[in-house]
Amino acid sequence: MSIATVKTEPIHGQKPGTSGLRKKTQVFMQRHYLENFVQAIFDAIGGAAGKTFVVGGDGRYFNDRAVQVILRMAAANGATKAIVGQGGILSTPAASHLIRLNKTDGGIILSASHNPGGPDEDFGIKFNMSNGGPAPESVTARMLEAANSMSEYRIHEGHDIDLSALGTHMVGDMSVEVIDPVADYADLMETLFDFDAIRAAIAGGIRIRFDAMCAVTGPYAVEILENRLGAPRGTVVNRQPLPDFGGLHPDPNPVWAKLLMDEMFGADAPDFGAASDGDGDRNMIVGPNTYVSPSDSLAVIAANAHLAKGYADGLKGVARSMPTSGAVDLVARAKGLDCFETPTGWKFFGNLMDAGRVSLCGEESFGTGSDHVREKDGLWAVLMWLNILAKREEGVADIMAAHFREYGRNYYSRHDFEGLDTAKAEALLSDLKGRMGDMPGLEIDGMTIASADIFKYEDPVDGSVSDNQGYRIVFGDGSRIVMRLSGTGTTGATLRVYLERYVPGPDGLNEDPQVALAPIISAARDLSGMAAHIGRTEPDVIT
Ligand code: G1P
Ligand code: ZN
């Protein structure tokens, strides 16, 4: 093997965020940029010598080049083996599964998730540990440290390997096994869900529309929904993964999956609609004329998971990120399950799952999943819903209505203010922080503030503390406002404002969330002073 040790210098700003390092693709394509960070990953995990890694990504622009570089660097750093999805493709949940299935030392996943792809859009890279989950903060901190003192990286000098050819290849002394990216994942799904029941429901006439948004889940959804479950060809639309996602913004929410929404709210809508994101870990669930908010989806899954064979014995416990609505808490209470509240980001669920404390986790940002892998999982949520529909023999709207009647409804919405000047967004929050101490007891828009604080999490498993995890203002009736800055953006700052109001029922369960939340929205504007700080009060994206 011919190893080059390349002199380099630290590159400013290689700080992993909520989910790995995300930057503009052009930034990643700069000389030494990718190489420095990959070396920092290997340094942060105590080297690559003798180790096996899973490598793959969501197929976005630069994915193919990056995979070749990573393989050559892994070889030069002494790794013995890499398992790579054919064409360099792996969805994030499939990568997590492969790490666990093959008991590898971790994996490198290339994705900027739901952010657009292309030469002028976004790229990203993250490391997942041997449990299949995203590296915890202690490890990402070491990556940053390593990146900030980087002086050289090692790379094997050789030719590209043919990633389209299944089988074993060599990169220097390292073997590379190119595998079908879908098969193992699809097999795992068959162990969790009642494919026979779903197949029967589809044969009986349930019509499904799955929008893969020209992203990585296309081949997975075609194999599972069409080939294995018998849905008609064409059930999966935008099924071909493209380097620029066909110009789409592969984020499964009502704004970016508008075509799906239009179909589901139009005449002769299918019985069930769903979409997934760039790397396949997010999901959106829609019924005819019925949008299911991710927080509600989590609660419905918690209430019905026992209908799926992999969860027939009940859940170990549930967890949600702090800004996610409390709908799942009500189900947990009714079922006597432990319910944990964690900071934003899937990495915080890993310890709870590894310790056997929870089996179901979710975030308001279209993320739902279980301990079958250590990532959120878009198709898993879709199959769980199909399993529930098949077993209950009810439609999405009926299931939601019954759920709200039983538990009450947590009206919920997230308002995103994008492309803000970072200093101004930070000033808004620090000003808010300064006033929080005086807020309890304050009356605003007819509501009284009960508490105001900044969320701090102490991991119940390893005791690690993560502070500054979001500003929250809670009212006497449990309604709340949460504010935090996004940790996944690549330009400027994004302020996320999360709004929640609980209505116990039986009346008032059927309102438009934006109407039901109007007083909370107005209080959020007033309390944050957003007009003065950022010069606007209307969000860019409402989900
Ligand atoms: C966003 C979501 C968060 C999710 C993350 C990765 O992070 O809000 O729930 O875990 O993407 O998919 P944010 O941009 O808010 O930091
Ligand atoms: Zn994603």
Q: What is the pLDDT of residue 17?
A: 85
> Pocket of ligand 1, candidates 256, 488, 495: which has the most ligand atoms within 8 Å of its Cβ, to mutate?
488
Catalytic residue among 96, 111, 113, 413: 113
Give the mean pLDDT of 338-355: 94
Tally of helices (H runs) and strands (E runs) in the chain: 18, 27
Q: Spell out the alpha helix ranges (H) of 7-136.
A: 25-28, 33-44, 63-76, 92-101
Q: For 369-384, how does the pLDDT look when each residue is reduced to its tens digit (9 = 90+)?
A: 999 999 999 999 999 9
Tell me which residues have their CB within 5 A of the ion that is ligand 2: 113, 277, 279, 281-282
Percent of the chain's residues with pLDDT above 90? 96
Q: Quickly state the pLDDT bin for 19 (edges 50, 70, 90).
A: confident
Instruction: Report CA torsion sign: 19, 103, 316, 458.
Output: negative
CB 3 within 8 A of CB 149: no
Q: Which amino acid is at 461?
A: V
Q: Quickly state the pLDDT bin for 137 (edges 50, 70, 90).
A: confident
Cα 205 to the chain's mean position, in Å?
A: 31
- Orientation angle between helical segments 294-304 and 327-335, nearest 10 degrees: 10
Question: Which residue has a Cα nearest atom 4 of ligand 1?
Answer: 345
pTM of the model as a whole: 0.95
Question: Which residue has a Cα nearest atom 15 of ligand 1?
Answer: 486
CA of 183 to the centre of ligand 2 (A): 20
Q: For 159-209, how does the pLDDT look when each residue is reduced to its tens digit (9 = 90+)?
A: 999 999 999 999 999 999 999 999 999 999 999 999 999 999 999 999 999
Closest ligand to Cα 134: 1
Instruction: Report CA torsion sign: 421, 427, 429, 430.
Output: positive
Report the atom number in ligand 1 closest to the C-alpha of 344: 9
Q: For 245-281, how does the pLDDT look when each residue is reduced to its tens digit (9 = 90+)?
A: 999 899 999 999 999 999 999 999 999 999 999 999 9
Q: Quickly state the pLDDT bin for 422 (edges 50, 70, 90).
A: very high
Q: Which amino acid is at 478?
A: G
Q: For 473-486, how does the pLDDT look when each residue is reduced to its tens digit (9 = 90+)?
A: 999 988 999 999 99
Domain ranges of the chain: 3-180, 185-407, 409-542
Reply yes or no on whether the pLDDT at 308 is more than 80. Answer: yes
Look up residue 428 and give its two tokens: 């808004």
DSSP-assigned beta bridge partners for residue 341:
320
Q: What is the pLDDT of residue 396?
A: 98
Q: Quickly state the pLDDT bin for 1 (edges 50, 70, 90).
A: confident
CA of 510 to the centre of ligand 2 (A): 31
Question: Which residue has a Cα nearest atom 1 of ligand 1?
Answer: 488
Whole-angstrom CA distances from 347 to 17, 128, 307, 374 are 11, 9, 27, 8
Separation between Cα atoms, residue 520 and residue 543, nearest integer Å: 15
Separation between Cα atoms, residue 242 and residue 226, nearest integer Å: 20
276 catalytic per annotation: no
CB 216 within 8 A of CB 58: yes
Q: Within 10 A of 313 (CB to CB), how many other CB atoms are there?
A: 9
Q: What is the pLDDT of residue 45?
A: 97
CATH C-level class of 3-180: alpha beta
Q: What is the pLDDT of residue 368?
A: 98
Question: Which residue has a Cα nearest atom 13 of ligand 1?
Answer: 486
Q: How many CA atoms, within 13 angstroms, populate the side-chain half-sphere of residue 177?
A: 13
Q: What is the pLDDT of residue 139?
A: 95
Give the mean pLDDT of 491-511: 95
Altogether, the residues listed in the chain come to a count of 543
CA of 79 to the centre of ligand 1 (A): 31
CA of 113 to the centre of ligand 1 (A): 10
Find the residues whose C-beta lies inside 6 A of ligand 1. 18-19, 113, 321, 344-346, 363, 365, 367, 486-488, 496
Residue that has been written with the tokens 């990633």 in this structure: 163
Q: For 45-79, how does the pLDDT look when each residue is reduced to its tens digit (9 = 90+)?
A: 999 999 999 999 999 999 999 999 999 999 999 99
Report the atom number in ligand 1 closest to the C-alpha of 363: 9
Look up residue 146 and give its two tokens: 């390593």
Reply yes or no on whether the pLDDT at 490 is more than 90. Answer: no
> Pocket of ligand 1, candidates 91, 140, 365, 540: which has the most ligand atoms within 8 Å of its Cβ, to mutate?
365
Report the atom number in ligand 1 closest to the C-alpha of 496: 15
Reply yes or no on whether the pLDDT at 489 is more than 80. Answer: no
CA of 114 to the centre of ligand 2 (A): 5
Question: Which residue has a Cα nearest atom 10 of ligand 1?
Answer: 345
Question: Which residue has a Cα nearest atom 8 of ligand 1?
Answer: 365
Domain 185-407 fold: Alpha-D-Glucose-1,6-Bisphosphate; Chain A, domain 3 (3.40.120)
Closest ligand to Cα 277: 2
Whole-angstrom CA distances from 391 to 226, 232, 235 are 20, 21, 21
Reply yes or no on whether the pLDDT at 347 is more than 90. Answer: no
Domain 409-542 matching CATH 3.30.310.50: the answer reads yes
Q: What is the pLDDT of residue 184?
A: 98
Q: What is the pLDDT of residue 478?
A: 87
Beta strands (DSSP E) in 327-455 are 338-342, 360-363, 367-370, 409-420, 443-444, 447-454
Separation between Cα atoms, residue 259 and residue 498, nearest integer Å: 25
- Mean pLDDT estimate for the chain: 96
Closest ligand to Cα 251: 2
CA of 201 to the centre of ligand 2 (A): 29
Q: Which long-range contacts (CB under 8 A, 24 or more apart) does 308-315 make?
A: 308/192, 308/193, 308/194, 308/384, 308/387, 308/388, 308/391, 309/192, 309/193, 309/194, 310/191, 310/192, 310/193, 310/370, 310/372, 311/192, 311/359, 311/370, 315/358, 315/359, 315/360
Question: Which residue has a Cα nearest atom 3 of ligand 1?
Answer: 345
Q: What is the pLDDT of residue 111?
A: 97
CA of 200 to the centre of ligand 2 (A): 31
Beta strands (DSSP E) in 65-212 are 81-89, 107-110, 122-128, 152-156, 167-171, 174-179, 208-211
Closest ligand to Cα 215: 2
Domains 185-407 and 409-542 share a fold: no
Q: For 450-476, how does the pLDDT look when each residue is reduced to its tens digit (9 = 90+)?
A: 999 999 999 999 999 999 999 999 999
